[in-house]
Amino acid sequence: MSQAPITRWTTHWATVKPLDTALIFEERRYSWRELADTMTGWAGRLAAVGVRKGDRVACLLSNRPEFYFTFLAVARLGAVFVPVNGRLAAAEAQHVITDSGAGVLVTESAHGKVATALQAATDLTLLDVDALPDKAGSDASDLPEPVFEDIVAILYTSGTTGRPKGATFTHANVFFAAESMCRAYDYGQSDLHLVNAPLYFTGGLLTLSQPVLLSGGTLVLQHTFDPELVLRDLERHRITVWLGVPAALGLLRQHKGFRREAFASVRVLGSGSAPLPLSLIEFYEGIGVPLCQGYALTEGGGVATILDPADARRKAGTAGLPMMFTDIAIVTETGEPAQTGQAGEILQRGPSVSAGYWGNPEATVALHEGPWIRTGDIGSLDEDGYLSVLGRLKDLVITGGMNVYPAEVESVLTRHPQVADAAVVGVPHQIYGETVTAFVVPVNGCEPTLDEIRAFCGDHLADYKLPRLLRVVPELPRTGSGKVRKNVLRDALSAELERRVP
C-alpha cells in the first residue's frame, strides 16, 4: 500500500476484516465494510453535485463520523479536502474558502449561521449533513483512483501573525506521516485510539487519525475533550493509545474522578503541541503510564520528533529524536550549522513535509531552505541528537541584549509548587528593550508573588532570565490545538501598561 492513495487503506481493511470495528462514536459502531461503503457512497454524492478531481471541497464540521466520511470521499474522488476551523467567524472562514477556491462546503446545522453567510459571500454549494437523506448516493467505486502524488488536503495554519496560509499535502505526504507514527509507536490492528483533538487541525486529522486507518486499529472518536468522558472511555473501551496536549493531561490529573485504573489498558500516552512540564511526566510515570512527548508542525505533516518513554526522565525537557523518514537540523542566524547545544532555528526535511502554500509562491519560497523547511521555531540539539524546543522565533525575548527563550523559563516556572501552568512573553521596556513577563495559573488559588517566583527561578536560571513582571490568571488563552496564544497575552499586557502611562 506504500505507493497507493490513502483511500486504499480503508478498502484493504474492509476486505481483510470487514466486520471488525473501524470507528466508534458515542453508541454507534462502524465496521470496516461500512466505512468503505460509506466512503464510496459519499464520493458518489459529491460527484453528483459536480465535484471532480482537483476540486477543493471545504468541510465545516465538529468531531463526528461525517468528518471522516467527507475526508475519505473527497480523497476517493481525487479532490482536495479543506477543513475549516469551527471557531472562526464568518469573515475569517471566508478567507479560507476564497483562498482555496472551494466550490462546495460540507457542514452541519450547528454551523448554519456561518455556512449561510459563506454561501451568500462566495456562492458555495452547501451540503448539510443533518439534512441529507440516509442513502448516501450513487456508488463511486468504479471511478478512477487518485494517484500517490495528487494533492489530497490543504491545511490552514492558525494565522496568529497574519492571515492563515494553506499548506498542501499529497497522498504521499500523508502516507509517510502516518507510517512514521505507526513505526514510532508500534501501532497494530489490536490498538484502540482515543481521538478528541479537533479534526480540523493537523494533529486531529493527520497525526492522530491517519495512522489508525493505515494500521487497521480502531478509532474511538469524541466530540471534544472532556475529562469525565476521557476517563469513562479509557476504561469502557480499554483504550490503548491516547495522544493529548499538556493542558489536557493537566486537567485530567486534577479531575475529581481521576482513577489510575482508567489507564490499565493504555500502552501509549503521548503529548504534543507544547513543552511537557516535568511535574506531569513524574505524575503519570508514578501511576505506571510513561509519557511520550514529541514535536511537530503543520508544514511538517504533523510529525517530526518523539521522545521514547524510556528516556522521559533522562532526557526530560527534550522532544526526542527525529522520527522515521525525518531529518532535523539547527541553523544560526547566518544560516550556518549550529554547534551542539547552540540555539538556532529548527529545520525539517523528509517526505511528509508540505511542498508549499496553496496559491502563495512568495510564502512558499520563504518556507524553504533548499530541501529543508524553516519551522520558525528555536531549538538546540544535545550531544546525543535530542531536540530541545525553546520557543517561536517571534516569541524570543531580547532583554538588555541577551536572548531569553520562553520555553526554558516556562519549564522552571511549572516546577514551582504553586504554579499549574505558565507562559512567558516579552513586552517593550524603555531601558532593556524588552522585559521578561510571566503569566501563571495558580494551583488551587494559592497565588505566588513575584518575589517568590524570582527566588525560585533564581536557583535554576541566570538573573537576566528571571521574570520582572508577573500576572496571575485563571487560565491561559489557547488555540484549539492547545498552543498558548502569546500574542493575546502580549497585547493585553501592552494595553494595560499603556493605560498607566500619564
Domain limits, the chain: 7-381, 396-500
The whole-model pTM stands at: 0.87
Name the CATH superfamily housing domain 7-381: ANL, N-terminal domain (3.40.50.12780)
pLDDT of residue 296: 92
Contact (Cβ atoms closer than 8 angstroms) between residue 457 and residue 448: no
d(CA 151, CA 145): 13
Residue 90: what residue type? Answer: A
Cα dist from 217 to 7, 182, 238, whole Å: 15, 11, 13
d(CA 46, CA 55): 11
Question: Helices in 186-335 by DSSP H: which ranges?
Answer: 202, 210-215, 227-236, 246-254, 278-286
Name the CATH superfamily housing domain 396-500: ANL, C-terminal domain (3.30.300.30)
d(CA 363, CA 165): 8
Residue (of 264, 260, 38, 57) closest to 153 by Cα position? 57
Cβ within 8 Å of residue 163, ≥6 positions away:
95, 99
Residue 291: what residue type? Answer: L
One digit per residue, the tens of pLDDT, for the chain of length 502 reads 568 899 999 999 999 999 999 999 999 999 999 999 999 999 999 999 999 999 999 999 999 999 999 999 999 999 999 999 998 889 889 999 999 999 999 999 999 999 999 999 998 999 999 988 766 666 777 788 899 999 999 999 875 556 789 999 999 999 999 999 999 999 999 999 999 999 999 999 999 999 999 999 999 999 999 999 999 999 999 999 999 888 889 889 889 899 999 999 999 999 887 777 777 888 888 888 888 889 999 999 999 999 988 887 788 878 999 999 999 999 998 889 999 999 999 999 999 999 999 999 999 999 998 899 999 899 999 999 999 988 888 888 888 778 888 888 988 898 898 998 899 998 887 777 888 999 999 988 788 999 999 999 988 888 889 999 999 999 898 876 677 888 888 888 876 766 654 4
Q: Cα 200 from chain centroid?
A: 9
Cβ within 8 Å of residue 306, ≥6 positions away:
184, 292, 293, 294, 319, 320, 321, 323
d(CA 96, CA 120): 15
